[in-house]
Structure 1
Amino acid sequence: MLRILIACLLVATVAGCAGSNRPQADQAEIVSRSYSDPGPSTLTLYTMINTRTGSGAHTSLMIGASERVIFDPAGSFRADVVPLRNDVLYGITPAVERAYRSSHARESHYARIQTLIVTPQQAEIAYQLAKQSGPVSSAFCANSTARLLQQVPGFEQIDVTFSPVKLSDQFGQITGVVTQEYRENDDADLQKGLAANNALLNQLDAGSSQ
């Protein structure tokens, strides 16, 4: 476990599992950006994986409950139109979700995306747990996500781990999980992807307000 933790710390700043120094949104901003997906309640596990080594770089969890959010522990994602409190990203519209996966998928990493339809009660418990988690320390992305899932009824079998890939493998064994891979071949610099998608979201937001 110690070796996994050290490895996570070494790649944190370039892979997406970094410290949480992001500005905090107020409640009015969160409410104004809130988005509820019309489909079924879901849990979607994101695992960012190094294309060369196959090692996991970051873990996050999109929760489709009474509103759709992403629990992004110690994450690097920033966008002007996406409110953040602690490590929860709010207002996860389809456009924001595309920007999130696109920002992480690049020449050096791809996103493994695993979606499971759950009951509204399961989704709401996960949502409340995410809001209560508080900011997560660097390299604890998989650990904190596993601990959250373990508290949701029906997910008690999840073992706590520091390894994003090991958590993904566990999640993938659950009946009903649909797995896909999302890849892009743009610049390996995460910050360039974040900046490009932030600009795109701002453009879309400006267009919708006209």
Structure 2
Amino acid sequence: MRRLIICLLLPLALAACGAQPVWAPDEAVQKAAVHTGNPPSVTLFTVISTHTGAGGHSALMIDGSQRVIFDPAGSWYHPWVPERNDVDYGITDRMYKFYIDYHARETWYVREQRVPVTLAQADAMIHRAEINGAVNKAMCANDTSAVLHDSPGFESIPRTFSPLKLSKAFGELPGVVSKDHYDNDPDDNSGVLMIEQEEATHGTNRPF
């Protein structure tokens, strides 16, 4: 079920996802910064086939001085979320739910694994993701595991091309909380949903 006020849905190509270099302007990134007030944490998202159990995609949500998603070679997009080379800024609770909702469907589910960290650890990982650069297609788990492995406290995470191996290693970290998200939406996840009447009535540009 789609519960978000506004969604821009693009075709999802998990097996052949790709990303071109993107660089949002400073003003957009600074304006979009989200400070959740939550305890710092790092979340690994793994998209898994409901039919075969194969891993299709890996990504990170990092909640530090701001909350971002590192979505290497991902196809997720929202016009209110500035991107710099696979790092998405402006991750409100609504955008976080949208990200999961975008990937979960009858053929894929999303495993969310979250671990608490210090603010310094979270910010160091954000910086590592920011300097990683745009990721080539089919390299999502490789670059996600590299960002983790190079960050303080996550040195035990091995470099791997397998989303499932990465998920298993992450799950062995102390304090991890895991949740699987399922959705019975059809596999065709393309199209654009209309902005609800509330936005048109209030004339808002960002329903945050």
**TM-score, normalised by the number of residues in structure 1:** 0.85
Q: CA deviation at 1:14?
A: 2.3
SS in structure 1 of the partner of residue 43 of structure 2: strand
Q: Deviations over 1:77-124 (max 9, x none)?
A: 111111111110000000000000000001110000000010111101
CA contact (8 A) 2:22 2:86 kept: no
How far apart, CA to CA, are the structure 1 residues paired with 2:15 and 2:41?
23
CA contact (8 A) 2:103 2:109 kept: yes
The equivalent of 1:179 in structure 2 is 178
The equivalent of 1:35 in structure 2 is 34
Identity %: 39
Alignment of 1:206 with 2:192, yes or no, is no
How far apart, CA to CA, are the structure 1 residues paired with 2:195 and 2:135?
27
Moved runs in structure 1, 4+ residues, more than 6 A? none
Q: Deviations over 1:145-194 (max 9, x none)?
A: 111111112211111110001100000011100000011111212434xx
The equivalent of 1:140 in structure 2 is 139
CA contact (8 A) 1:149 1:155 kept: yes
The equivalent of 1:62 in structure 2 is 61
Deviates more, 1:40-49 or 1:181-190: 181-190
How far apart, CA to CA, are the structure 1 residues paired with 2:85 and 2:27?
16
How far apart, CA to CA, are the structure 2 residues paired with 1:17 and 1:183?
22
CA contact (8 A) 1:48 1:109 kept: yes
More helix per residue: 1
Q: Deviations over 1:50-92 (max 9, x none)?
A: 1000000000000001110000000001111111111100000
How far apart, CA to CA, are the structure 1 residues paired with 2:164 and 2:187?
20
RMSD of the alignment, in Å? 2.3
Segments of structure 2 that go 5 or more residues without pairing to the other structure are: 1-11
Letter in 1 for 2:126: Y
The equivalent of 2:117 in structure 1 is 118
How far apart, CA to CA, are the structure 2 residues paired with 1:49 and 1:174?
20
- 1:16/1:40 Cα in 2 relative to 1: closer, same or farther (>3 Å)? farther
How far apart, CA to CA, are the structure 1 residues paired with 2:157 and 2:122?
16
CA contact (8 A) 2:19 2:74 kept: yes
Q: CA deviation at 1:199?
A: 5.1
Q: CA deviation at 1:17?
A: 5.7
Q: Aligned residues, how many?
A: 194
The equivalent of 1:154 in structure 2 is 153
Deviates more, 1:24-33 or 1:95-104: 24-33
How far apart, CA to CA, are the structure 2 residues paired with 1:59 and 1:146?
9
Segments of structure 1 that go 5 or more residues without pairing to the other structure are: 1-12
How far apart, CA to CA, are the structure 2 residues paired with 1:16 and 1:199?
30
How far apart, CA to CA, are the structure 2 residues paired with 1:16 and 1:105?
15
